[in-house]
Structure 1
Amino acid sequence: MSFGEPEGYDERARPRPLLGVRIRPRLAAAAACVVLGLGLIGGAVTGSWLVGESGDDGAQDTFAAAGGLWHSVPVDQLFPRTVLGKGAGPGGADRTWTRIAVAPDSGCANAFDPLLRKALAPVGCERLLRATYIDATESYVTTVGLLFTTADAAAMRSLDSRFAKEDLDRRADLMPRPYAVKGTLAAGFGDEQRASWTVSVLTDAPVVVYAVSGWADDRTVDEPEPADEAMRSGTTTAVAQAGLGHEAKGLADRVERALRKNVGPTTEQS
């Protein structure tokens, strides 16, 4: 068995003069690749930094813009007269809600129970907007609210983290209060009529979105349930069977979407 000669050597295993010539182009090519690679890496880092900086500025601008919607957007855009909830009901049934009352924009002094007011205190209260809706069957009433805070993004993230870790959105002693108006089907919608609720702390906008639902016949509720629990499959409580968790969650989600549409797609949250 014989092997071919190593490239660049003659039959006496002496280096050929051509070897040096062959090495130099390869070294040059390798050096060029290194330089090109470093250039690409540097360009990528620079580009990434520029994109990141631009994105941060955009997020800050969007956050600030969302905080001013309470005085710059018509109420019919934040709380539409009619809200369609395709698939928002139990079993994916469609829902339609009609607005029956809008509260004047106000502070938060009398809008929340003391414990909820205390929990929300770290983010402040710039303005509170509320509206009450009734479903198409006129069986359920739901108040939905938008609390515009005075907090920055870090404070909103901190509050959201606290709500998640301590399950503050599931505590019955931290339910939002409904907004009842005389002469409407929600005239008797008071604290004792609260059946289900949801509270969502946004992290890409200085806003807390909430909703609280109950029966339209003014019946009292001894054991209200957070919307997420009332919406679980197989739950047999009266609140769950009536779909009141879906009423609160479905309407709150769609009002939040309306809020985001007035700012732009960059505020979308997973």
Structure 2
Amino acid sequence: MSWSAGAVAARSVVSLGPPEGYDARGRGRALAVRGGPRTAAAAACVVLGIGLIGGAVTGSRLTDDSGPAGAGTFATAGTLWHSVPVDRLFPPTVQGPGAGPGGADRTWTRVAVAPDSDCADAFDPLLRKALAPAGCARLLRATYTDATQTYVTTVGLLFTKADAAAMSSLAARFQREGLARRTDLMPRPYAAPGTVAASFGDKQRASWTLSVLTRMPVVVYAVSGWADGRGVDTPQPAADAMRAGATSAPAQAGLGNEAEGLADRIEQALRTTAGTATEKPS
């Protein structure tokens, strides 16, 4: 599958064909192709492996992002937005064993992929300002729904222009100042016309998570809401919505789990893809 606006995934077969980008009018354009038989085989394993990540503690990232980044992996990760097919970055179906409230299993189906873009209108002004020191090389987004089509979640991969030191500095600031938990710094959803997420706008944002990675120049985020278009007066960070005893509407609905669980698995797939792309043939 190539990158295209509003693409709907009704299948679970992963395409390993040549990746494409698109121009300002949404027309396909060929991009550099990496890999060969070994990469194709590894790609299938990457997507299949997403469903096997279960067992991680809900509400925490699935991999450790501490420590220095390998120069090769960091540099390679920054190129993945144009060298990897959309189905590897945002699989048509993502399995989340134990990702729901109380350890319930989750399955997310991709309903749309946004055109790759810059960050001009993708974030609220304050979040755009907070992320500005890292720069914006490219932003990729996809929107998913749960098995019952009750909830919708947009997950985003912001590929920055920053080096490892700048990413570490940005991550430290977000942690120190609690920026990822502020309601005025929520990421925006991608509302795809003609899908269950058609009414998923800014006022429908219910819960979110955002992680500044330090081993690759990427910011991973997800924002969730109800599929019926209802507004939310008091959005809640996923970490708070998932706390034991939380009684807010997003918490009771499990929308924190939707955002955190999907972001975790897309992030893990990205890390695996970056590691595979960095490996040298023996």
TM-score by length of 2: 0.73
Counting helix residues as a fraction of each chain, which structure ranks higher? 1
Give the structure 2 partner of residue 179 of structure 1: 190
SS at match of 2:274: coil
SS at match of 2:247: coil
Out of 185, 195, 203, which is 1:192 matched to? 203
Which amino acid letter does the alignment assign opposite residue 246 of structure 1?
A: N
Cα distance, 1:199 vs structure 2: 0.4
Cα distance, 1:265 vs structure 2: 7.4
Structure 1 residue ranges (4+ consecutive) displaced by more than 6 angstroms after TM superposition: none
Q: Partners of 1:181 and 1:238 in 2: how far apart?
A: 24
Q: Partners of 2:101 and 2:140 in 1: how far apart?
A: 28
Contact 1:59-1:266 within 8 A present in 2 as well: no
Is 1:164 equivalent to 2:175 in the alignment? yes
Cα distance, 1:221 vs structure 2: 0.1
Out of 113, 133, 140, which is 1:122 matched to? 133
Give the structure 2 partner of residue 240 of structure 1: 251
Q: Work out which structure has the larger RCO, using CA pairs closer than 8 Å and 6 or more positions apart in sequence.
A: 2
Q: Partners of 1:109 and 1:203 in 2: how far apart?
A: 23
Give the structure 2 partner of residue 68 of structure 1: 79
Give the structure 2 partner of residue 253 of structure 1: 264
| Structure of larger gyration radius | 1
Cα distance, 1:266 vs structure 2: 11
| Residues 45-64 of structure 1: pairs in structure 2 closer than 5 A | 59-64=70-75
Cα distance, 1:184 vs structure 2: 0.4
Give the structure 2 partner of residue 107 of structure 1: 118
Percent identity over paired residues: 74
Give the structure 1 partner of residue 4 of structure 2: none
Cα distance, 1:237 vs structure 2: 1.0
Q: How many residues align?
A: 212
Is 1:148 equivalent to 2:149 in the alignment? no
TM-score by length of 1: 0.77
SS at match of 1:147: strand
Give the structure 2 partner of residue 97 of structure 1: 108
Contact 1:83-1:96 within 8 A present in 2 as well: yes
Contact 1:98-1:135 within 8 A present in 2 as well: yes
Contact 2:206-2:234 within 8 A present in 1 as well: yes
Contact 1:140-1:216 within 8 A present in 2 as well: yes
Contact 2:76-2:277 within 8 A present in 1 as well: no
Residue segments in structure 2 that go unaligned for 5+ positions in a row: 1-66
Q: Partners of 1:109 and 1:266 in 2: how far apart?
A: 29
Q: Partners of 1:209 and 1:262 in 2: how far apart?
A: 15
Contact 1:143-1:213 within 8 A present in 2 as well: yes
SS at match of 2:191: coil
